[in-house]
């Protein structure tokens, strides 16, 4: 079983398909990526995977709508898998306020 299949067997909640721009902060300079889907436990992004390595620690920065005054959210995550077109990230901040924020944002996030 590959890493992607293994990680999908342990999800906390179903992934919600979404299309939003995000910025990923890792060891080097921040770079843009595209959110493909998200859940309470993590997200799948489309990006140049040469910039990401499995087990790397990253931070993902994004807004859930395009309004200029919309809050900016930053979530720490670990890279779980990489593929030809993207990567799977698992959030690693499970404080109650972070989980509440994720639940609220995922439920309220509009599709683009």
Pairwise pLDDT comparison (9 vs 86), residue with the higher score: 86
pLDDT at 61: 93
pLDDT 10s digits, 50-86: 778 999 999 999 887 777 788 888 999 999 999 988 9
Give this prediction's pTM.
Answer: 0.80
* 17-108: CATH, from 3.40.50.720, 3.30.460.10, 1.20.1250.20, 2.40.10.220: 2.40.10.220
> Distance between CA atoms of 80 and 97, rounded to whole angstroms?
23
- pLDDT reported for residue 11: 55
d(CA 68, CA 50): 31
Question: What ranges do the domains of the chain cover?
Answer: 17-108
Q: Work out the percent of the chain whose per-residue pLDDT is above 70.
A: 84
> Taking the mean position of all CA atoms in its chain, how far away is CA 3?
17
């Amino acid at each position: 079983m590959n890493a992607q299949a293994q990680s999908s067997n342990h999800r906390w909640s179903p992934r919600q398909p979404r299309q939003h721009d995000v910025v990923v902060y890792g060891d080097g300079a921040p770079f843009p990526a595209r959110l493909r889907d998200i859940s309470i436990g993590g997200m799948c992004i489309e990006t140049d995977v040469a910039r990401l390595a499995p087990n790397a620690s990253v931070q993902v920065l994004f807004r859930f709508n395009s309004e200029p005054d919309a809050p900016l959210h930053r979530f720490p995550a670990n890279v779980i898998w990489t593929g030809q077109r993207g990567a799977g990230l698992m959030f690693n901040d499970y404080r109650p306020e972070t989980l509440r924020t994720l639940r609220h944002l995922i439920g309220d996030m509009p599709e683009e």
